[in-house]
Amino acid sequence: MELVAPAAQHRRNARVSELLEKAWSRGWLSRPVLEPDHLIAAARARTGLQELGSGSGWEERLERLTQALREEAALSPLGTVIAYGQLVAALADRARVHALWRRHPEILEQPILRPIIVLGQMRSGSTRMQRLLACDPRLAHTRFFESWNPVPIARRRWLDDRRVRAWIGLRCAEWLNPEFRIIHPTALEAADEEIGLHNVSIFGAAFEAQWRIPSFAAASEAMDTRPVYAEFKRLLQTVAWLGKGREDREHRPWVLKLPQFAQDLDSLLEAFPDARLVCLDRPASAVVASSASLVHSQMRVQSDHVDRHWIGAEWVRKVALRERRMRAARAAADVPQVDVGFDGIGEDWEREMQRVYRMLDLPLTEEVRSRMQRYLDQRRHRRLAGHRYALGDFGLSEAEVERAVRGAHSPVSEKLEVLG
């Protein structure tokens, strides 16, 4: 697929917004309402289910998020439609998964044994590490279609529509934002982050990475995230249970990866106390530049008022916050850990993966090495080299970023057990 130039993409999306506004003003279509009651009613109508569960605080987060979308995000008509669609889909999945838990309480007994947490900032090479580990058939992982569609629509377990829905969603995302294929190459069956599971809880930086919603971000950073991660574990158990009979992930360590984990590591480890940590490190200036580029690419699809300098400042702040929290949680955690540098993987991936496997107490077999090499040779993985970004595009300098994220690359603590 040939990529659409950013200017042409912007004109195309602007035309879609014009057509939507015209259809709303003439009464041909109903304007989406970003209010909790309207979104919940739409999810109930879509599923025929009334109960969306309680206890994780999703109702308050939905209230804060929708207020921020109305008052801060400056959404275009297209952005309003996308936001409405995402939130209704997330709430519909909430309704479906709670109905599934009521019918099958045994799901919550599904073991998730000794997960391997790929821990790092956004754009720190975490997807590469996750997919390298996913080459090992002795380990389990979440696939793209499972993250974004954790439960099927049909009640019958054998009638699984999740791949079809994920394919439609992925094609739409790539049509609206062709750069997505370069910035985060993925596929239906590819190992991918569990970001969609957080969406079901109306939580996480998936929202912050596409909309300007600082009040929601601040509330999320200040809240007690333990209930969210208790629900995250139940959602992961559901993904594992739905795969039973077709694949055995029950007795394999699960590779988990999500940049949000850097912000909430203490809560994550409370949910998974037997986890092992593969901790990634990349210079802060590169992390911020690449993150800001991704966020800008996402935001401009849904808003005509995107401020590059605001994005730069916000993601310096976010990276610094996550670095502080991650370092503190790692120092307090009594779990196996290993540090892996972004450049180290680029220089000699086999050497670095040997270190990771020593921490995991697994042999790195020739078969797994061959699988890893095939992954690295894939055209889809090599697309990442086409992602271009610079701090100056966001009003930042390397010195400014390093000052803000000071101490980010010094040893975390003498308490850390860094193996390898």
**Pick the residue with more confidence: 218 or 206?**
218
C-alpha closest to that of 287 among 127, 119, 123, 125: 123
pLDDT tens digits, one per residue of 52-81: 998 899 999 999 999 999 999 999 999 999
Q: Which amino acid is at 392?
A: G
Q: Is the pLDDT of residue 176 over 70?
A: yes
Burial of 221 (0-12, 13-18, 19+ CB in 10 A): middle
Residue 168, Ramachandran bin (φ over 0: left; ψ between -120 and 50: alpha; else beta) = alpha
Q: What is the pLDDT of residue 389?
A: 85
Question: Would you say the C-alpha torsion 388, 392, 396, 400 has a positive or negative sign?
Answer: positive
Q: Share the mean pLDDT of the chain.
A: 91
Q: What is the pLDDT of residue 407?
A: 56
9 — pLDDT class (breaks 50, 70, 90): confident
Q: What is the pLDDT of residue 412?
A: 47
Q: What is the pLDDT of residue 378?
A: 84
CB atoms within 10 A of CB 157: 13
178 — pLDDT class (breaks 50, 70, 90): confident
Q: Is the pLDDT of residue 419 over 60?
A: no
User: Backbone phi, then psi, for 60, in 5-degree steps?
Assistant: -65, -40
Q: What is the pLDDT of residue 365?
A: 98
**What CATH number was assigned to the domain covering residues 6-404?**
3.40.50.300
**Segment (H or E) for 117:** strand 116-119
**Segment (H or E) for 375:** helix 366-377
Among 37-41, 173-177, 215-219, 238-242, the least confident range: 173-177
- The percentage of residues in the chain with a pLDDT greater than 90, rounded to a whole number, is 77
Q: Is the pLDDT of residue 301 over 60?
A: yes
Q: What is the pLDDT of residue 386?
A: 63
Cα–Cα dist 420/69, whole Å: 46
Cα–Cα dist 237/165, whole Å: 21
Span 132-154, mean pLDDT?
93
Q: What is the pLDDT of residue 4?
A: 57
pLDDT tens digits, one per residue of 219-263: 999 999 999 999 999 999 999 999 876 667 778 999 999 999 999
What's the whole-model pTM score?
A: 0.91
